């Protein structure tokens, strides 16, 4: 099983492992880093989240009332 | 050439000539007259403007959802002539150009600090209200006015092979009388609205170039400076019109777009970028939320608010209406081969969003400067506000000069295509109007702008526009009714509406 692991598997497991180890060894360091990044993102990209999510909503609503609405998701 | 002049040309050119001469000889009298008529119209017909414009918006939106929206503005199966990005760029430079540069910083700052739409100046709420109403004036209502004229013209011209004249679109309701004097009257009214709409915008352009020269180089702001500016630009656009629509105008249009994007990008980067994005996002929400209330807001019980609505909302609606035969003919020309739904979606929504970004950037920067006590933009004259904003940032001088060149090139392209459209309207819809006719219109456009500036400056321009828009708004209503009648008929013939039960209809049509 492990021999056949795809790069997507090994890389993401690796990253998560590093994160977990960091959290155990340097809990405070990790906390302050994530907090800083979080504050930065919600400050600078708040507008982006709002527009993006509303865009998804609009697209969903458009398909609600579109001729494509009869198309199934997946093969018919 | 001269022997073949149409009655529409002679009558409308005659009327404009008289207006120009009266303006030169009795400026005070003309100013008084236009002020009185304007006040009467805005007071008495303000409600009418609001209802009529919102009606156009609703008609456009209906075609977004009805199956009739699949009908093509052209022959079945015809492909669009221009690619989508080119198409949008052309919509934009024709539709608003000078106006965007003129009002970009000036309108939001005026709503915020000088005269508020909610009578609350200088507060945080005032910032939001200022942006919300600016969005309202430059949003889907403006584009629905252009859109409806363009839609009706394109539908009859490209799908039913009617002439590209306003009168030709009224055939379904008035029949043959459109080929006679009644039709000529309609075309004359459309020509006059166009001349005044274009001339007014040229007047704004001249005043703003003057404002820039005065702000940067301490040159005087007066009629004689504007006379020189209009004179120089007139010579330039006459050369461009004489050499034909081909190369000159295309090079200038592209230059316009590049300069506008540069100016926008510069302001966006050196200005308060995050504030701009936040105010943009927030104002979209308050705009959508308050759209119905703003669309019908006439303030029947409040004198002061009523004044504000007359001075801004009614003025803008009149401006867009007066501009609409010109822009409409142009937009129709470049939209051949699109489906109605695609047309409405692209003409209403995309330019509105680009406009919102533009106003958030220039207006947001102006407001942020003033709200944070860095500079007092609102003390400057309207035409100097933009230059005042630039002066607070690095590369301010470069930006100001680019802005003046931009207005100059917008001026030339607007006047050049204006002479073309007027030539077309007065030669029975010919796509190759004669050189002399174009030159006569070019001269009359500049002369009208000058005469109006001479009689009463910016205020005279705004007054005359509100007067000229009233008759054309009635023609627009008739055009819309005629269009609805014709397209429902066609829908019935094609069996659209029954599309879901019997699938006779091909996807294209």
Q: Classify residue A45: in a domain, yes or no.
A: yes
Contact yes or no for A47 and B65 at CB 8 A: no
Domains of chain B and any CATH numbers? 2-20+28-491 (1.20.1740.10)
pLDDT of chain B, 509 residues: tens digit per residue: 444 678 888 888 888 888 888 888 888 888 888 889 988 988 899 899 999 999 999 999 998 888 888 888 888 878 888 788 777 777 777 666 788 888 899 999 999 988 888 888 888 899 999 999 999 999 999 999 999 999 999 999 888 888 878 888 888 888 887 788 888 888 898 898 889 888 888 888 888 888 888 888 888 888 888 899 989 888 888 887 777 555 666 677 778 888 889 999 999 999 999 999 999 999 999 999 999 999 999 888 888 888 899 889 998 898 899 888 888 888 888 888 888 998 999 889 888 999 999 999 999 999 999 998 888 888 888 888 999 999 998 888 899 999 988 888 888 888 888 888 888 888 887 777 788 888 888 889 899 898 888 887 778 878 888 888 899 999 999 999 999 999 888 888 887 755 444 444 544 44
Of A43, A44, A51, the CB nearest to B281: A51
Q: Classify residue A50: in a domain, yes or no.
A: yes
Q: Classify residue A35: in a domain, yes or no.
A: yes
Q: Classify residue A22: in a domain, yes or no.
A: no
Give B20 to chain A, closest Cα distance, Å: 50
Q: Classify residue A13: in a domain, yes or no.
A: no
- In chain A, how many domains are there? 1
Give B274 to chain A, closest Cα distance, Å: 7
Whole-angstrom distance, CA of residue B222 vs CA of residue B344:
42
Give how far Cα B160 sits from Cα of B150, B182, B373, B487, Å: 15, 21, 59, 11
| CB within 8 Å of B357: residues ≥ 6 apart | B264, B280
Whole-angstrom distance, CA of residue A49 vs CA of residue B277:
12
Q: Classify residue A72: in a domain, yes or no.
A: no
Give how far Cα B313 sits from Cα of A27, B42, B47, B219, Å: 58, 10, 11, 33
Interface of B with A (CB under 8 A): 65, 274, 277-278, 280-281, 284
A44–B contact, CB cutoff 8 A:
yes
Q: Classify residue A49: in a domain, yes or no.
A: yes
Whole-angstrom distance, CA of residue B4 vs CA of residue B468:
28
Q: Classify residue A71: in a domain, yes or no.
A: no
Domain coverage including residue A41: 27-66
Give how far Cα B235 sits from Cα of B16, B238, B412, B416, B463, Å: 20, 5, 10, 11, 27
**Number of residue pairs across A and B with CB atoms under 8 Å?**
12
């Amino acid at each position: 099983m492990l021999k056949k692991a795809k790069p997507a598997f090994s890389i993401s497991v690796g990253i998560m492992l590093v994160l977990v180890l960091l959290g155990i060894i340097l809990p405070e360091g990790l906390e302050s880093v994530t907090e800083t990044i979080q504050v930065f993102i919600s400050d600078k990209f708040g507008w982006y989240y709002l527009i993006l999510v509303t865009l998804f909503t609009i697209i969903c609503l458009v398909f609600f009332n579109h001729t494509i609405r009869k198309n199934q998701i997946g093969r018919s | 050439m001269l022997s073949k002049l149409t009655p529409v040309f002679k009558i409308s050119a005659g009327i404009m000539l008289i207006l120009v001469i009266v303006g030169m000889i009795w400026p005070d009298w003309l100013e008084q007259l236009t002020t009185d008529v304007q006040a009467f119209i805005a007071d008495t017909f303000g409600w009418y403007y609001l209802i009529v414009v919102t009606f156009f918006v609703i008609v456009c939106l209906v075609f977004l959802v009805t199956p009739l929206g699949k009908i093509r503005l052209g022959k079945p199966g015809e492909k669009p002539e221009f690619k989508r990005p080119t198409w949008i760029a052309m919509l934009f430079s024709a539709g608003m150009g000078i106006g965007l540069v003129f009002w970009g910083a000036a309108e939001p700052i005026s709503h915020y600090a000088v005269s508020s739409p909610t009578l609350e100046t200088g507060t945080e709420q005032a910032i939001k209200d200022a942006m919300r109403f600016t969005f309202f004036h430059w949003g889907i209502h403006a584009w629905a006015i252009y859109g409806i004229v363009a839609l009706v013209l394109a539908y009859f011209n490209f799908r039913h092979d009617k002439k590209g004249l306003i009168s030709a679109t009224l055939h379904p309701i008035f029949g043959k009388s459109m080929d006679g004097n009644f039709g000529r009257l309609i075309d004359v009214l459309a020509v006059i609205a166009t001349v005044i709409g274009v001339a007014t915008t040229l007047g704004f352009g001249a005043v703003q170039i003057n404002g820039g020269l005065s702000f940067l180089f301490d040159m005087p702001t007066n009629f004689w400076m504007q006379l020189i500016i209009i004179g120089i630009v007139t010579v330039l656009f006459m050369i461009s019109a004489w050499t034909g629509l081909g190369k000159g105008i295309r090079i200038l249009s592209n230059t316009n777009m590049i300069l506008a994007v540069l100016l926008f990008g510069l302001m966006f980067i050196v200005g308060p970028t995050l504030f701009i994005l936040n105010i943009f996002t927030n104002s979209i929400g308050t705009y959508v939320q308050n759209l119905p209330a703003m669309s019908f807001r006439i303030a029947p019980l409040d004198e002061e608010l009523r004044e504000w609505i007359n001075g801004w909302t009614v003025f803008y609606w009149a401006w867009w209406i007066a501009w609409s035969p010109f822009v409409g003919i142009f937009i129709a020309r470049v939209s051949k081969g699109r489906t109605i739904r695609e047309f409405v979606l692209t003409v209403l929504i995309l330019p509105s969003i680009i406009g919102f970004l533009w106003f958030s950037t220039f207006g947001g920067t102006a407001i942020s400067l003033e709200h944070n006590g860095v500079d007092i933009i609102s003390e400057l004259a309207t035409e100097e506000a933009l230059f005042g904003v630039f002066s607070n940032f690095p590369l301010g001088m470069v930006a100001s000069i680019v802005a003046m060149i931009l207005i100059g090139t917008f001026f030339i392209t607007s006047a050049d295509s204006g002479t073309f459209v007027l030539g077309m309207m007065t030669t029975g819809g010919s796509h190759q109007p004669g050189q002399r006719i174009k030159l006569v219109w070019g001269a009359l456009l500049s002369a009208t702008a000058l005469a109006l500036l001479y009689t009463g400056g910016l205020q005279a321009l705004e007054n005359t526009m509100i007067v000229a828009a009233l008759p054309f708004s009635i023609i627009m209503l008739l055009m819309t009714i005629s269009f609805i009648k014709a397209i429902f008929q066609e829908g019935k013939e094609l069996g659209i509406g029954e599309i879901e039960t019997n699938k006779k209809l091909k996807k294209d049509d």
